[in-house]
Amino acid sequence: MAVMSEPRTPGTPGAAQWDSGWYRFARHTPSPNFGPRPGHTPVDLLVLHSISLPPGVYGGPHIAELFTNRLDWAAHPYFETIRGLQVSSHFYIQRQGELWQFVSCDDRAWHAGASFYRGRANCNDDSIGIELEGLEGDTFESAQYETLEALVGALAGRYPIDHIAGHEHIAPGRKQDPGDGLDWEVLQRTLGLSQSCFPAVTKK
């Protein structure tokens, strides 16, 4: 059974933000789907995804169950189409902004798949995966942006993050998430990062 810890409130006196790659202000649900990063690999890329299980259904336990290999494949017809899938992400942000963590950021989660970005293949090696609960191409909630802003700030304080991209940018033609519903301009302004940190996107 997955071990859960209650999320802690940022700003708690004396509370360190990180413990061996685990963010203390997230709900911890360790996944078995991870491995070591290649030696001397800089962790400098954040990859944003969107996910919902079944597609378009929010708030259920199925995403956490998928990432921890506990999903009942017979519970919904859609699950049969992904039967046996073993994946994970470092973080997952629910619609109301609650933050979960499944893999230590010091380790390699299985979120990117076949991918290539900034002249590098195998983006799992040098990236941190962040799943936003949502339907591909649909919009996201303000609470999710707020949690993402805080998380990116904490990650940038620990790892040499220099780029943020969507799954669609590292696996074009194969993946389309998070899609047009993610407002990259708002994200850039909110995070206060240079435009060079983001993929080239068309203004809405």
Whether 204 shows a pLDDT value over 70: the answer reads: no
3-class secondary structure per residue, the chain: CCCCECCCCCCCCCCCCEECCEECCCEECCCCCEECCCCCCCCCEEEEEEECCCCCCCCCCHHHHHHCCCCCCCCCHHHHHHCCCCCCCCEEECCCCCEEECCCCCCEECCCCCCEECCEECHHHHEEEEEEECCCCCCCCHHHHHHHHHHHHHHHHHCCCCEEEEHHHHCECCECCCCCCCCHHHHHHHHCCCHHHCCCCCCC
Q: pTM for this one?
A: 0.91
Range of the domain at 102: 22-31+41-197
Lowest-confidence segment of 51-65, 96-110, 181-195 by average pLDDT: 181-195
Supply the residues annotated as catalytic: 131
What is each CA distance from 201 to 5, 106, 183, 184, 192, in whole angstroms? 37, 29, 10, 8, 17
**Res 189 pLDDT > 60:** yes
Residue 77 lies in a domain: yes
Q: Is residue 52 part of a domain?
A: yes
In a domain, 1, yes or no: no
Q: Is the pLDDT higher at 29 or at 204?
A: 29
CATH code of the domain containing 69: 3.40.80.10
Distance, in Å, from the CA atom of 117 to the CA atom of 147, rounded to the nearest integer, reads: 25
Domain membership flag for residue 12: no
> Given this model, what pLDDT does residue 115 score?
98
Q: What phi and psi values does residue 143 have, to the nearest 5 degrees?
A: -65, -30
Number of domains making up the chain: 1
